[in-house]
Amino acid sequence: MRRSYWWYLLPIGIGFTAVVAVPFAANVVLSFFRWKGGIAPLHWNGFGNYSDLLHDANFWLSFRNSVFMIVAIVVIPTGAGILLAATLVDYLGKRFGARAASFLRATYYLPQILPIAVAGFIWSWILDPGSGSVNTFLRSVGVSDPPDWLGSPSLALYSVMLMLVWLQLGYPLVIFMAALSRVDPELYEAAAIDGAGWWRQFGAITLPTVRPEIFIVVLTATVAALKVFAPILILTGGGPEGSTLVPSYYAYRNFFELSQVGYGSTIATVMAVVIFGVAAVLLGWQRRVERRA
Amino acid sequence: MRSVSRRACIIAAALALTATGLAGCGGGTSGESGKTFKILQYENASTAQGQGWQKALEIFKAKHPDVKVEFQQTSFDAFRQNAKITLSGNDVPDVVEFNKGNADGGQLAAQGLLEPLTDQVTKNGWDKKVTGSMAAFAKYDENGHAGTGDWYGIPNIGEYVMFYYNKAKFQQAGIAKLPTTLAEFETAMDKLKAAGQIPISSSANTSQGFNQMWIWYSLVSALSTRQQIDDFMFVKAPVDFHSDPWKEGAERFQQWIDKGYVGDKLGGLSFEQATVNFLSGKTAMLIWNNGEFARIRKDAKFDWGYFTLPGAQLSMGSSGHLWGVPAKAKNKDLAYDWINTTLSPEVQNLIGQQGGLPLAGDTATISDPVTRQFTERFDQLVKADTLSFYPDYPVPGFLDFIQTHMQAMSNRNETAAQYLDALQKFYDDGTKR
């Protein structure tokens, strides 16, 4: 009987082969060639592109920036998301009613439903060094020379991170609030009667409850962080002076700007392998923790 | 087992139906392709060129009543980035608008994605209308280098870069008459600075922050001969970026940054923000091309004028974007007729009336004196053969490269000498590739 279920996988199998497996295989094959694209001839290059990549300072810079993207998309929003979800459910929800908590949850989630291009343009205006609202505010409180948020190489990466935190926060928040609705409110009441404070309740009840969701959020957000693209394209174009370059944007630049399709494929292949690796490690970790629990 | 095979049959039947449906769709489309003419372009319909093309569309449809014309809109960036994919597919447009330069048109031509047009150019007399520097980026050799080889594109309009200025701010700073030399221009900017003005509205964002690059290249052009620019642009002879005009151009550009002629915090600004800063009266001048002429005319709430960089030997400018015919286009004859239509006097003179700098129009027919004067200046530059094109044309990836260094110089993280070192390497590597 079990064999019969395989038929249900057929449509997704065909879709996966056509949309993921074949293009990925083609990408891997192209990474061994030098190719300008279009109907230009392919030149066999063996592992030449991979060896060039190892010595490419821009690639390693983009890789380093991926770590910052993980901080902005995974670490900060997940941590803040748990705290905010707990505050909204335990405190504001009880004090002002479930509708107030739902309203606040929706406002945090709003950036997630905005088209990324719109969000990017809004932030580029907010962070405009001349007439942007941030610098206008800073000038109004007496800062005579406010910073150039997206134009200074030492600041732009942090400005992009700020936008990404804003963009991402709603996602873990909504998931964690849904998870917390599983908890019997009497559990918190019993803990309070036993003398447990908010932080004690948070550590003993809230965190263990949302643990499966934390794994899901960390896994999906880490993958998103490693392939972040659109915010960089819209906000900084990898600049200023390459300070916000990330691997997916660097691959794109090689594909389309520099007509180095083979090299772009090499970057994409390496990043796909890194993402598979990171996802496998996270899934393995989740399984180990679940087994222990 | 019986249930398994029944399910299998249902799935197989569903897939077969889907496949038949898809095949049916494909067959239908290919049957109509002879009658559907697809134009893919990225000009906004409200621009002079866009309005001219609407007129061309009317004429073309009247000439070919049996042809269904699809006038498709895309964006400059979208087509630039997807051109190779769009043109190497099986269902390509019949005529496309593309960007000029070795990095764009040259790549498409060298990759065999565009149809050589040389025979059609002679047959239709396009070379009588598109001449000199306006034709330079219509031709590409087998390596994708502009200037020689077959024709691959036909432009309709021209472009030139100028300084739009706010007359009230010039008066307040005590500038009685417009500068006529580079030195006078710098003195005028000193006066503007002394009067508390930012002389030039600029930008240097990696994404769309082109003004700084145009200032730098305008300075280089101002100090160049035709030969020096042609060597650089058409990769005719080795270029030594450590000698003039490159050296003096870059050093002078750095001085302009240091003296505050272009304002500061430019690394995060785009050309749109630079334009808004000029229109809102925050700066005295804006460097841009004719692309913003109509907008400034409409939106500036102050008395304004324009001039090309004073005392310049050459000025930035070139032909506009090009019409090309994809190698895989199904209706090539219709495509040639479309190009002919866009170069017709009716279309060209309409573009001229709207301030669009037509290549085959009659400037004398322009009724509005401001627009006529503006077009006459362009005609003078073309006639004198003093347009120096745009600096990112010679090498693929140059735009990105120059922009990054413009940011570094604007942020005072790189000197003119360091920029010239990097420029030498990128250009030499890129032109050898």
Bridge partners for B72 per DSSP: B40
Q: Which residues between 113 and 132 in chain B have a beta carbon less than 8 angstroms from any beta carbon of chain A? A: 113
The amino acid at A75: V
> Could you say which of B206, B277, B411 has the minimum Cβ distance to residue A238?
B206
> Could you say which of B88, B107, B206 has the minimum Cβ distance to residue A239?
B206
CB count, 10 Å around CB of A113? Answer: 9
Residues in chain B: 433
Give the integer Cα–Cα distance in Å for A252 and B211.
Answer: 24
Give the integer Cα–Cα distance in Å for A84 and A182.
Answer: 17
Tell me if A126 sits within 8 A of A163, measured CB to CB: no
* Full strand arrangement of the beta sheet holding B322-324: B68-73, B36-41, B95-98, B322-324, B154-155
Tell me if B206 sits within 8 A of B270, measured CB to CB: no
Looking at CA atoms only, how far is residue B209 from chain A in angstroms? 10
Taking only the tens place, the pLDDT of each residue in B161-199 is 999 999 999 999 999 999 999 999 999 999 999 999 999
Nearest-Cα residue of chain B relative to residue A40: B111
> Could you say which of A4, A36, A239 has the minimum Cβ distance to residue B407?
A239
Best of A36, A62, A252, A259 to substitute, by most chain B Cβ atoms within 10 angstroms, is A259
Q: What is the dihedral of CA A14, A20, A21, A26, to 10 degrees?
A: 130
| ipTM > 0.85 for the complex | no
Helix-helix angle A116-126:A156-168, to 10 degrees: 130
Helix (H, G, I), strand (E, B) or coil at A42: coil
Tell me if A238 sits within 8 A of A232, measured CB to CB: yes
Helix-helix angle A22-30:A261-292, to 10 degrees: 130
User: Using CB atoms within 10 A of its CB, is residue B80 exposed (0-12), middle (13-18) or buried (19+)?
Assistant: middle
Best of A1, A39, A123, A229 to substitute, by most chain B Cβ atoms within 10 angstroms, is A39
> Could you say which of A130, A149, A259 has the minimum Cβ distance to residue B277?
A130
Measured between beta carbons, which residues in chain B are less than 8 angstroms from residue A258?
396-397, 400
Helix (H, G, I), strand (E, B) or coil at B200: strand
Nearest-Cα residue of chain B relative to residue A4: B4
Q: Scanning the structure block, which residue is given the tokens 């996966």?
A: A16
Looking at CA atoms only, how far is residue A204 from chain B in angstroms? 46
Tell me if A34 sits within 8 A of A45, measured CB to CB: yes
> Could you say which of B8, B206, B264 has the minimum Cβ distance to residue A240?
B206
CB contact under 8 A, A258 and B396: yes
Q: What is the dihedral of CA B396, B401, B403, B404, to 10 degrees?
A: 160
Best of A8, A257, A265 to substitute, by most chain B Cβ atoms within 10 angstroms, is A257
* pLDDT value of position B228: 96
CB contact under 8 A, B265 and A148: yes
Q: Scanning the structure block, which residue is given the tokens 């306006």?
A: B134
In total, the C-beta contacts within 8 angstroms joining chain A to chain B are: 128
* pLDDT value of position B433: 66
Best of B82, B84, B413 to substitute, by most chain A Cβ atoms within 10 angstroms, is B84
How high is the mean pLDDT of chain A? 90
* pLDDT value of position B28: 35
Measured between beta carbons, which residues in chain A are less than 8 angstroms from residue B270?
124
End-to-end CA distance of chain A: 33
Can you give the pLDDT of all 293 residues of chain A as single tens digits? 567 788 899 999 999 999 999 999 999 999 999 987 777 788 999 999 999 999 999 999 999 999 999 999 999 999 999 999 988 887 777 778 778 888 888 888 888 888 888 888 889 889 988 778 999 999 999 998 899 898 888 999 999 999 999 999 999 999 998 898 888 878 888 988 998 888 898 888 888 888 899 999 999 999 999 999 999 988 888 878 889 999 999 999 898 877 789 999 999 999 999 999 999 999 998 888 888 76
CB contact under 8 A, A152 and B267: yes
| Residues whose CB falls within 8 Å of the CB of residue B127, separated by 6 or more in sequence, listed in order | B121, B135, B151
Taking only the tens place, the pLDDT of each residue in A36-92 is 777 778 899 999 999 999 999 999 999 999 999 999 999 999 999 999 998 888 777
Task: Give the residue among A140, A195, A86 at the shortest CA–CA distance from A94.
Answer: A86
Burial A224-252 (b: 16+ CB within 10 A, else e): bbbbbeebbbbbbbbbbbbbbbbbbbbbb
> Could you say which of A38, A127, A236 has the minimum Cβ distance to residue B207?
A236
Task: Give the residue among A102, A106, A82, A84 at the shortest CA–CA distance from A93.
Answer: A102
Radius of gyration of chain A from its Cα atoms, rounded to whole angstroms: 23
Chain A residues in contact with chain B using a Cβ-Cβ cutoff of 8 Å: 3-4, 7, 10-11, 36-40, 124, 127-131, 148-153, 156, 233-242, 253, 256-259
Task: Give the residue among B379, B370, B380 at the shortest CA–CA distance from B164.
Answer: B370
Helix (H, G, I), strand (E, B) or coil at A30: helix
Asked if B142 is an interface residue toward chain A (Cβ–Cβ < 8 A), one would say no
Nearest-Cα residue of chain A relative to residue B412: A152
Measured between beta carbons, which residues in chain B are less than 8 angstroms from residue A253?
397, 400
* pLDDT value of position A2: 66
Can you give the pLDDT of all 433 residues of chain B as single tens digits? 334 344 443 444 444 433 333 333 333 333 334 579 999 999 988 888 999 999 999 999 999 999 999 999 998 878 887 888 889 888 899 999 999 988 889 989 988 899 999 999 999 999 999 988 899 999 998 888 898 899 999 999 999 999 999 999 999 999 999 999 999 999 999 999 999 999 999 999 887 889 999 999 999 999 999 999 999 999 889 999 999 999 999 999 999 999 999 999 898 888 988 999 999 999 999 999 998 888 898 899 999 999 999 999 999 999 999 999 999 999 999 999 999 999 999 999 999 999 899 999 999 999 999 899 999 999 999 999 999 999 998 888 888 899 999 999 999 999 999 999 999 999 998 887 6
> Could you say which of A36, A151, A238 has the minimum Cβ distance to residue B267?
A151
CB contact under 8 A, B4 and A233: no
Whole-prediction pTM value?
Answer: 0.80
Asked if B262 is an interface residue toward chain A (Cβ–Cβ < 8 A), one would say no
CA dist list (Å): A273 to A227, A270, B42, B267: 12, 5, 38, 34
Helix (H, G, I), strand (E, B) or coil at A250: helix
> Could you say which of B4, B84, B407 has the minimum Cβ distance to residue A37?
B84
Best of A8, A10, A258, A265 to substitute, by most chain B Cβ atoms within 10 angstroms, is A258
CA dist list (Å): A184 to A33, A77, A211: 59, 26, 16
Strand B68-73 relative to strand B36-41, pairing: parallel
* pLDDT value of position A1: 53
Asked if B431 is an interface residue toward chain A (Cβ–Cβ < 8 A), one would say no
Where would I find the beta strands (DSSP E) of B167-307?
A: 198-201, 283-289, 304-307
Q: Scanning the structure block, which residue is given the tokens 């090299």?
A: A263
Region class of B175: left (phi > 0), else alpha (psi between -120 and 50), else beta: beta
Give the integer Cα–Cα distance in Å for B259 and B253.
Answer: 10
Q: Which residues between 33 and 92 in chain B have a beta carbon less than 8 angstroms from any beta carbon of chain A? A: 80-82, 84, 87-88
* pLDDT value of position B14: 43
Asked if B409 is an interface residue toward chain A (Cβ–Cβ < 8 A), one would say no
| Residues whose CB falls within 8 Å of the CB of residue B94, separated by 6 or more in sequence, listed in order | B37, B38, B39, B325, B326, B329, B330, B331, B332, B334, B335, B338
